[in-house]
Amino acid sequence: MPKVTYQLPDGTTHDLEVPCGQSVMDGSVRNNLPGIVAECGGGCSCATCHVYLEEGVSFFDEPTDEERELLEFAEDARPNSRLSCQLILTEACSGVRVTVPDSNG
């Protein structure tokens, strides 16, 4: 199982093993981590699962047009912003690190 490191808004980090095929959002929600609200349940329709992906990470597919449009409405969006519901994990993703902004809710 890939290991994902979540850096939360309060500065704490949590290393979690998340099954392949699940999203970074799923790992957070299923482990009750604060910060990823996921109001739409992973349907790529709300941007409340906004995270910052480590610079240079290429484990994931490029964002779709729909994801890019939603990120325009995310508070404090940056070039490395992604919706965690769209970051589907594979074995190659092990060690990925995401930062959860303090503005997802």
Q: How many residues does the chain have?
A: 105
pTM of the model: 0.92
pLDDT (tens, 9 = 90+) of the chain, 105 residues, equals 999 999 999 999 999 999 999 999 999 999 999 899 888 888 888 899 999 998 878 889 999 999 999 999 889 999 999 999 999 999 999 899 999 998 775
CA of residue 44 relative to chain centroid, distance: 12
Q: Domains of the chain (ranges plus CATH)?
A: 3-99 (3.10.20.30)
**Residue among 93, 28, 94, 95 nearest 61 (CA):** 93
The answer for residues whose C-beta is within 8 angstroms of residue 11's C-beta and 6 or more apart is none
